[in-house]
Structure 1
């Protein structure tokens, strides 16, 4: 997928979320901490979440299957883009996916159910949309639960947008900079065999 197509797709998710929010009059939580507190706590949350998830993936047998194949696919995808495009994709994912899943879906469900049900349902949908394997579904659903809970507790869509975007940036940086950590085999142009 070209850089422009990837950016337009990720941006389109945010537009879809925003349209749903406006058309259905879904209230978006934004009365929580101010701008700088939301940015600070979002960055702190992203770093902590990524660190914990990374540690959990190191525990043998914790997940039903390993993530190496998915990480290889993500590495192959991400390595085709410039750092600028990857940062933009992370920012668009943070803003767009949070507008759609936390703002629109979870916000709509919170009007008709309780917060726990809304968080759970929106998180499972988030996991299903990111489904590439059952393990990846579990990881994405877990991230959705964390973000959904943070959205309810903080009452700040901005905080979870920052959290999501920074999480994606950290994940892509670590994957591209330290592929061995994830069992990724890197093909170098001057070598015929992949390097581990």
Structure 2
């Protein structure tokens, strides 16, 4: 993973990992306290691994295609991608992989396992998927366009969980998606309109 000149982030790797892991703890506690039924592996571990990985690749490919459609989104994502690049480029590849894994496990425990699971037990599957996805988008809100993208991803993951009955599948899907997204952003920043400033020259280039 080519990271170029490493920037210094205001958040230490340990703090970032602890925060991301804490999301999973909240989700797990909610599941245990409220007795929320969790559909863990559905068709089995290997199918969950295979379909989760394929789903992540397909989802990211679809997102890339959609971002190339003129005026599809109300605003472009370049500012958010620049901020994400600056954040991600301050960490080592190992930390980014760990963050992706923790996000996949932790956020899916909370949003699909706890929130969507609770809603499915008290409402209907469509309402549960929609509500959990909107909450997922709101938590990731940095702009309206980013909210739409995150909500869309939440809808895909929520539907995949409801149909596959495998929380493991969506955890893998989410984690692999994040890894692909971070790798592509750091390896091919010009795809996303990211400007890289070399400290020595103090000049942006692609």
Once residues 13 and 2 of structure 1 are traced to their aligned partners in structure 2, the CA distance between those partners, rounded to angstroms, is 17
The correspondence for 1:188, drawn from 183, 189, 198, is: 198
Structure 2: runs of 5 or more not aligned = 1-10
Once residues 169 and 199 of structure 2 are traced to their aligned partners in structure 1, the CA distance between those partners, rounded to angstroms, is 41
Residues 1:134 and 2:134 aligned together: no
| Alignment root-mean-square deviation, CA | 0.6
The correspondence for 1:76, drawn from 75, 78, 86, is: 86
Once the two structures are superposed, the pairs formed by residues 34-183 of structure 1 within 5 Å of their partners are 34-183=44-193
The correspondence for 1:18, drawn from 28, 32, 48, is: 28
Once residues 156 and 83 of structure 1 are traced to their aligned partners in structure 2, the CA distance between those partners, rounded to angstroms, is 28
TM (norm. structure 2) is 0.94
CA drift of 1:191 comes to 1.9
* Map of 2:8 onto structure 1: none
Once residues 125 and 114 of structure 2 are traced to their aligned partners in structure 1, the CA distance between those partners, rounded to angstroms, is 14
CA drift of 1:30 comes to 2.0
**Residues 38, 167 of structure 2: 8 Å contact kept:** yes
2:205 is paired with a residue of what secondary structure? coil
Number of residue pairs aligned between Structure 1 and Structure 2? 196
Once residues 175 and 77 of structure 1 are traced to their aligned partners in structure 2, the CA distance between those partners, rounded to angstroms, is 11
TM (norm. structure 1) is 0.99
CA drift of 1:31 comes to 4.8
Residue deviations 1:16-72, cap 9 Å, x none?
A: 000000000000012512111100000000000000001000111000000000000
Once residues 65 and 12 of structure 2 are traced to their aligned partners in structure 1, the CA distance between those partners, rounded to angstroms, is 33
Runs of 4+ in 1 over 2 A off after TM superposition: none
Once residues 56 and 43 of structure 2 are traced to their aligned partners in structure 1, the CA distance between those partners, rounded to angstroms, is 17
Once residues 45 and 61 of structure 1 are traced to their aligned partners in structure 2, the CA distance between those partners, rounded to angstroms, is 26
CA drift of 1:167 comes to 0.1
